A and B are shown apart, each in its own frame.
Chain A
Amino acid sequence: MDLSTTYMGLNLRNPLVVSASPLSRSIDNLRRLEDAGVGAIVNYSLFEEQITNEIYEMDHYLMAGTESFAESLSYFPNPSETNIGPEEYLEHIHKAKKSVGIPIIGSLNAHSDGGWVTYAKQIQQAGADALELNIYFLATDPLVSSQRVEEIYIDILKAVKMNVTIPVAIKISPFFSAMANMAVRLDEAGADAVVLFNRFYQPDIDLESLTVIPNVLLSTPQAMRLPLRWVAILYGHINANLAATGGIHTPEDVIKMIMAGADVTMLCSVLLKNGADYAADILEGVEQWMKEREYVSISQMRGSMSQKFCANPESFERANYMKSLRSFH
């Protein structure tokens, strides 16, 4: 049985890809994931904002209170060498590549114009097989229009593509007015893959302390419905590969996503919950399912249930929503 797939020109032994998450923080974990059989790993994200903040913070605390009082003109030794840039991240990519045989995809979340290009180049140089742009842009400014937001995505993608030779995926949020159009534009701008979808941090309110607390929730199985729909709709309409992420917890979920048209399916919450080794169980389940139903390859089933090839394409559209509403009453 052939489980292999191609993602952004990379040959993967199967479509299970670990998405950017704390799972890739340790080299040991990367090895465990490889041993569990996954096809590729998206490394955790390099956050430019965090790097900048750390620089500000360190500068602030090294300077605070200095040159004020004759006995204590400073409070810290002068660091001769500091690792305040992306060195740690790049070193990790470098080590990851040395430690595992499966492709390692870098993930970048920059916030300045120059940051995207600079760090993308550095990640390429560190040895990443591909790069995923993790664009976190919450359009909170009422003066910024949807067109502007879309342009920002396109501009970033183009700038990075011009400066790196490794394939570039773009991970986007579902909050576009015209998702299909957006996907096509990203495709035209040179995206090698579109990753559907990014989940943003969702703040919560702590009623005890009356504070807003940042909260990361693990995905629920229901979450996969959103990427499932858009993978199915986009399949066959863009050249870029499609990666599905969010709520993929079971072998069945993987199969559904592939049938909808995904080139790869990304796992995170389920592995955080059950451990890296659980990837092997999912893989085994996929194989078992395919075996039982006599599928011989992943490519055979890819897109088979996409809007393009399924029997009831309208089900992926609004009518489907109307119908499901009716079914409740």
Chain B
Amino acid sequence: MARKQVTIDGNEAAAYVAFAVNEVIAIYPITPSSPMGEWADEWYSANRKNIWGTIPLVQEMQSEAGVAGAIHGALQTGALSTTFTCSQGLLLMLPNMYKIAGELTPTVFHIAARAIATQGLSIFGDHQDVMAARMTGFAMLCSDSVQEVMDMAMIAHAATLESRLPFVHFFDGFRTSHEVAKIEQLSVEDIQAMIDEELVLAHRKRRLTPDSPVIRGTAQNPDVYFQGREAVNIFYQNCPSIVQKVMDKFAKLTGRQYHLFDYYGASDADRVIVIMGSGAEACQDTVDWLIKDGQKVGVLKVHLYRPFAIEQFVAALPKTVKSVAVLDRTKEPGSCGEPLYLDVVNAFVEAGNGWVPNIVGGRYGLSSKEFTPAMIKGVYDELLKGSPKKHFTIGINDDVARTSLVYDRNLSIETKEGVRALFYGLGADGTVSANKNSIKIIGENTPMYAQGYFVYDSKKSGSVTVSHLRFGPKPIHASYLVSKANFVGCHQFQFLESYDVLKDIEEGGVFLLNSTYGPDEICQIIPRTTVETIKNKKLRFFVIDAYSVARKVGLGQRINTIMQTCFFAISGVLPKEEAISAIKETIKKTYSKKGEEILRMNYDAVDHTLVHLHEVKVPEKITSTVAMNHAIPAGAPEFVRNVTSIMISGQGDNLPVSALPCDGTYPVGTTQWEKRNIAQEIPVWDKDICIQCGKCALVCPHAVIRIKAYDAKYLQGSPSTFKSMEAKDRDWQGMKYTIQVAPEDCTGCGICVDVCPVKNKSETKLKAINMKPQPPLREEEKKNWEFFLKIPETDRNAVKKNAVRSSQALQPLFEFSGACAGCGETPYIKLATQLFGDRMVVANATGCSSIYGGNLPTTPYTKNNQGRGPAWSNSLFEDNAEFGLGFRLSIDKQKELACELVKKLESALGTQLVEEIINAKQVDEADIFQQRQRIEILKEKLKNNLSADAKLLLTIADMLVKKSVWIIGGDGWAYDIGFGGLDHVISSGRNVNILVLDTEVYSNTGGQMSKSTPRSAVAKFAAGGKSMPKKDLARIAMTYGYVYVASVSMGAKDEHTLKAFLEAEAYDGPSLIIAYSHCIAHGINMTTAMQNQKAAVASGYWPLFRFNPELLKEGKNPFQLDSGVPKGALGDFTGLENRFKMLTKSDPEAAKRLYQLAQQDINQRWQIYSAMASNLQNDNPAPQGGLSAKGG
């Protein structure tokens, strides 16, 4: 019987097999392997069964270290168990992996191989992680394509049972894990046939059980450990032949024959590349092309990397081979060569038959760097040389160590067959979803093969996506981006200004543009160079006003179905009628579970599209005078002009090694140079009704609303539309006041308008700040913004920090981040930088805040006019509290040393200065200002002092000025993976400020459950609704008694948030601020999200409080409950959020049950807190919100 053809990605392929043959699955999110865990959890929630007819248990852990422990335990007690991970996650599993292997325990870990954080973090694919696991004793099996992922997953699971060696099954992160391809799916019968039940029983028999007890995990002494370690050798010797046997069995079943090493190419090849992973596919394509050109080349694909089978390796190669290039997708600095290279060299030598070709090693493709046929040909060409370069790099320009090979970047081997399409879209417009759909349509409805790969943005708002699709009659091995497209779709008109979308289109190709301009005028409107390309390359050019069609059929901004229909209509990938009916069939499949109405709208969209699609006749004479816009604003620093700007323009691949810092150190404040212009609408200030409360600036997630109070003289020369009014604050009497918007940096979220408390008396829909279309305002507001920046910052000493209205005149030192529009986290960070930015050192846990805080090309932390600002770094996910404590210890030590030196140098400095410096309190802004002045005097006095003490003191004198250490991260870090460290750090008593941006899920990896997730919320890894209550981190921290703890919600009570930040920072000990942060992962309207915060507090869901140990000294109750008695029921809040409502739709019964428990959770918590607060004050009665109240 023919097997089912499916179009899925590598992650789903691996999870499909893993779920079928396991009983216990432990998971933890990490990009790009998270989807494997998500699939497992979704199937678990949907009661899918494994091949033994039982539903595997899926358990999320607190970290990958936890996962490895749980898997180890599950295996030891006899279950079949698996997990999915990569990168830092795999590193955290290493200790257990040694144990699992040492105990000869069958399991398979599926790895979407990813880079390791070194000079920078990278979420993208290479083999650095799996290479770090090669000494654990796990066998390692590599897949090169999506089909292979499914096949090798199966082979690994079968082979592990027989060989007793645990397996790492790995494939390239993103390139394979996220590539959507048409593959043949193994049937349940196939999987059953591959699993030997006797071996499963054997595994069970080895389990730990009190019914037949044994002991494992003993401590061994010098007498026997060594021998015990060697006792496993035979299993490693047997493993390769077992794997080959399983591969042969698999081939009989499916017709797909694999070997430990698969050779592809000329049987008389003289040059061969040895490689593993997706790059091998590209090599295969290139080998075909080169052989047609008469070249004698081949590629050896390594599948079983560990144990490395020397005999089979050597046997797999033609004996004609004279030179070998071993390509490693990893880097091992300081070694004699990368691991695969060393293995190959050793294999030839050890094979002992005297045949040792010329072997060179090279690195390629780190962090998903493209690996193209052009590069591969470059490698083969290098092998033609008498002495090819050893330890080369390919794909970059290494102008420092000169490792890189030169290759012809313009070479493309794309064939004439099939369709290669490129689509430029915005994340929000549904382009990628539509393309995934198109692949399904073609993959599942025609005999054609299909492939899709998607390139995403480094920003979370206004993100550009580029989809690379291939369709053709033969299996597709092109594991690289589309280079010669015969179809390009540009789904956003404005891209033409910034991107050369036609650079990869081939002559005679089809270009589809979504445009409000019709076929008659379009050629005057788009850039001249675009029209020239259309003309010169003889493109067929089509336009459609997709937004107008979408509006007409009720789809709003989602143009996916419309653009997809256009693609099918004009690309020729399928006959038009067939394509349209296939689209409708797919729409039915995709949308029917979303309801009749959605289905109808999408059908209507298909029907309306074709009449609105027009072919453009390009005029003989090109009249457009529009130019593309690549401008980096004048005045940008050199690094930004020479390096950052190249990255911004999407040409970062062209930067040579010398352009990049060697140690990962980058200048701050670079977002200001990347004018993204992504907002359709921006806020406009109405000074006539403004009450100067400062709330708009406070909540602005991107710091694009700025406030200054200044002397009237600075208004001289102001642009005509620059707005100013008398400052209302008594401290600023006689001064002018301006609220200015950065028009090109705004994301248009509108959250400022929502919080504005003022209403226009004649037209109540208007406020003191209102959204208006950006394009007509852009130029004048740009001038106003530039003028505003030139006005001196309001004197920090003249700003009352303890009131929102005045505090917002403080300069934010965190601006224009790449966070989502309307982000709920960034306003807290921005506030901290306003209050303490000039003395902050930030340790940032990996997650959203490290991505919008530190993802290249541009970063938002910046500095003030004195050159001071937050110094920021990200270490890891799990170690952030410890990393921050390290800052504190280091700073404290340096300060101590500086004090010692100051005392030593008393004679040079003068007693008064010494005493003032050493005894400076530095509690408030003025104290710190004075201390800075003292340090300046100190430096002046010592500048000519040649003593060693003076020299040393000059290097650390700045440490005598207070430094504010901030440890920032999300709930995934604080509640889960980093909790142990956080707990230790707060117990240390050291003066650190911990800010937990609590979104109640792992936001950055796409909304997986953390221990902060509340009961009844749906999240990934909690598809059936979280069944246990939220962990009360604050209460745990309060048990120490000496930790300042605050629970805040800016949207509910901004003054309270401000007060907590000031108190926390002032407290000379550990402080923990848990900040409610709304998030796109809550399924909410981000524009009105501050109202959700209000509802969260009002319902008792998120109580506001402060625990200030300072109050104990005054004999007072340190705990202050700052929010009122809960009003109404939990449902008043949960009803606003999809994360709760979703369960009422997917499982109404569970929703009711969990809702009631969730209401009990908050009632109980309130009772506890009010009891704590009434220790000295009795004014907080128990809540009235009842269990009988309405449902979520």
- Measuring CB to CB, which residues of chain A are less than 8 angstroms from any residue of chain B? 51-52, 54-59, 61-85, 88, 210-211
Contacts and interface: CB of A to CB of B under 8 A. Distances in A.
A67 B764 contact: no
B427 A68 contact: yes
B1004 interface: yes
A74 to B, nearest CB: 6
A167 to B, nearest CB: 27
26 contacts: A55-B595, A55-B598, A58-B1141, A59-B595, A61-B1138, A63-B558, A68-B456, A68-B460, A68-B463, A69-B456, A70-B174, A70-B178, A70-B456, A71-B32, A71-B1005, A72-B1081, A74-B1007, A75-B1020, A76-B1142, A77-B1019, A77-B1023, A78-B42, A81-B593, A81-B1146, A85-B595, A85-B596
Contact of B1004 (A55, A72, A77): A72
A90 B445 CA distance: 36
Nearest to A80: B46
Contacts of A78: 42
Main secondary structure of the interface of B (DSSP, over half): mixed
Interface stretch (B277-285, B428-436, B652-660, B954-962): B428-436
Interface of B: 31-32, 35, 38, 41-42, 45-46, 123-124, 174, 178, 426-428, 430-433, 454, 456-457, 459-460, 463, 465, 558, 593-598, 759, 764, 820, 851, 1003-1007, 1018-1020, 1022-1023, 1080-1081, 1083-1084, 1138-1139, 1141-1142, 1144-1146, 1148
Contacts of A71: 31-32, 123, 851, 1004-1006
B1145 A62 contact: no
B123 A76 contact: no
7 shortest interchain CB distances as A-B pairs: A68-B427, A61-B1083, A72-B1006, A55-B595, A77-B1023, A67-B432, A61-B1138
B31 A70 contact: yes
Contact of B430 (A63, A72, A82): A63
Given A61-B1084, A82-B1145, A210-B759, A75 B1007 contact: yes
Contact of B597 (A56, A63, A74, A77): A56
Contacts of A83: 1144-1146, 1148
Given A61-B1083, A70-B123, A76-B1007, A56 B598 contact: yes
B208 to A, nearest CB: 34
Contacts of B41: 77
Given A65-B1080, A210-B759, A58 B1142 contact: yes
Nearest to B31: A71
B1004 A76 contact: no
Given A66-B433, A72-B1003, A80 B123 contact: no
Contacts of A88: 1148
Interface centre among B124, B426, B597 (most CB of A within 10 A): B597
A78 B1138 CA distance: 13
A72 B457 contact: no
A69 B463 CA distance: 7
Contacts of B558: 63
A239 to B, nearest CB: 35
Nearest to A54: B1145
Given A71-B31, A71-B851, A76 B433 contact: no
B1080 A64 contact: yes
A75 B1023 contact: no
Which of A59, A61, A72 has the most C-beta atoms of chain B within 10 angstroms of its own C-beta?
A72
B460 A77 contact: no
A234 B1018 CA distance: 54
A215 B561 CA distance: 40
Contacts, number: 144
Contacts of A73: 35, 432, 456, 1006
Nearest to B434: A67
Nearest to B1146: A79
Contacts of A82: 593-594, 1145-1146
A247 B814 CA distance: 61
Contacts of A68: 426-428, 456-457, 460, 463, 465
A79 B32 CA distance: 21
A59 B594 contact: yes
A69 B427 contact: yes
B594 A58 contact: yes
Nearest to A81: B1146
A48 to B, nearest CB: 9
Contacts of B759: 210
Contacts of A67: 427, 430-433, 454, 456, 465
A260 to B, nearest CB: 37
A76 to B, nearest CB: 6
A70 B682 CA distance: 27
B1007 A72 contact: yes
Contact of A58 (B1080, B1084, B1145, B1148): B1145
A51 to B, nearest CB: 8
Contacts of B1142: 58, 62, 76, 79
Contacts of A84: 593-595, 1145
Contacts of B1146: 79-83
Contacts of A66: 427, 433
A88 B1007 CA distance: 28
B594 A72 contact: no
A119 to B, nearest CB: 11
Nearest to B764: A210
A69 B460 contact: yes
A73 B1141 CA distance: 21
A79 B427 contact: no
A73 B1006 CA distance: 7
A58 B1138 CA distance: 7
B492 to A, nearest CB: 13
Contact of B427 (A52, A59, A65, A210): A65
Contacts of A57: 1138, 1141
A78 B595 CA distance: 15
Contact of A79 (B432, B1080, B1145): B1145
B428 A80 contact: no
Given A77-B1018, A79-B1142, A82-B1146, A72 B465 contact: no
A51 B558 CA distance: 21
B42 A72 contact: no
A2 B598 CA distance: 52
A62 B430 CA distance: 12
A57 B1135 CA distance: 12
Contacts of A85: 595-596
Nearest to B432: A67
Given A70-B456, A210-B764, A75 B38 contact: no
Contacts of A58: 594, 1138, 1141-1142, 1145
Contacts of A76: 1007, 1018-1020, 1081, 1083, 1138-1139, 1142
Nearest to A118: B596
A49 to B, nearest CB: 10
Contacts of B820: 65
Contacts of B178: 70
Nearest to B41: A77
Contacts of B1006: 71-75
A202 to B, nearest CB: 19
Contact of B1138 (A62, A72, A74): A62
A256 B1145 CA distance: 45
Nearest to B1138: A61
A30 B579 CA distance: 53
A85 B597 CA distance: 10
A64 to B, nearest CB: 6
B1080 to A, nearest CB: 4
A120 to B, nearest CB: 15
Contacts of A51: 595
A249 B46 CA distance: 50
Nearest to A79: B1146
A25 B1071 CA distance: 48
A55 B456 CA distance: 28
Nearest to B174: A70
Contacts of A65: 427-428, 460, 820, 1080-1081
